[in-house]
Copies of this chain bind each other. A is one copy, B any other.
Amino acid sequence: MNEEYIKKILKEVKEGTISEDEGFRLLKELPYKDMGFANIDNHRQIRTGFPEVVYCEGKTPEQIRDIFYELARHGSVMGTRADERDYEAVSRVLPDAVYHREARIIEYGARTVRNSLVAVVSAGTADIPVAQEAAVTAEILGSRVDRIFDVGVAGLHRLLDKIDRITPADVVIVAAGMEGALASVVGGLVSAPVIAVPTSVGYGSNFQGLSALLSMLNSCANGVAVVNIDNGFGAGYMASVITKKSL
């Protein structure tokens, strides 16, 4: 999958520019070199031009600090599900790092600004943290983001009043808990692809987000695809991957 590189090595071996052993080493390490870092998402990131992503939950502030420091040498980095103490640890070694509190994201390095627009729509105030995780992720990955929060379907007039801000978007992200109906309603109103992110907001028979998840998977509107419960990052990332294609 890197034909020119392989051919170049073969050529150099033939011409004696590099030894057979060196040629072998280069060919054998090729997949590893392509990756560069230990992080499993690395190879893809490099190709996509996106910054490195660190999932902070379950790691100590010290571990997160060290990973950020290492990755920051190669470019931009972002950390998701990070709390205040994680950020403090990182900011001690990377004073320019920024903490997006509601989104729980640590950001470091320059953003690639692109021309795409992502609308992030959320149903209730309790869905805002997930919506913000999606919004900040999309911004860091280069999109402009318009946030349209608190427009759940129980008060349809509000959503309809904001529809003019949603329709121009290249991708629409809908974050909703409870019955998750907002994804279907928005899906029926726009022509852009809709990324639905169910949230665990609710109680009782919402079963930690299962009701919204099933609702969104069974959406009667076309052009809707779903990511994991509370996975705001995943929605923002998917939106960025889609809009990157559209440049």
Q: How many copies does the complex hold?
A: 8
- The answer to whether B150 and A40 have CB atoms under 8 Å apart is yes
Cβ of A110 < 8 Å from any Cβ of B? no
- The answer to whether B222 and A154 have CB atoms under 8 Å apart is yes
Residue from B6, B188, B214 within 8 A of A206 (CB atoms): B214
- The answer to whether B44 and A218 have CB atoms under 8 Å apart is no
> Which 3 A-B pairs have CB atoms at the shortest separation, nearest pair first?
A204-B229, A181-B181, A40-B155
25 chain-A/chain-B pairs, Cβ below 8 angstroms: A3-B24, A6-B24, A6-B27, A10-B13, A10-B20, A31-B160, A32-B157, A42-B155, A44-B154, A123-B220, A152-B220, A153-B153, A154-B220, A156-B189, A171-B245, A179-B181, A179-B214, A193-B238, A204-B208, A205-B214, A205-B217, A211-B211, A211-B215, A211-B217, A223-B237
Q: A43-B157, A224-B234 are in contact. List 15 more A-B contacts (CB 8 A).
A: A1-B167, A3-B28, A13-B13, A40-B150, A48-B191, A58-B126, A181-B184, A181-B185, A205-B229, A206-B214, A206-B228, A213-B217, A217-B226, A225-B235, A243-B245
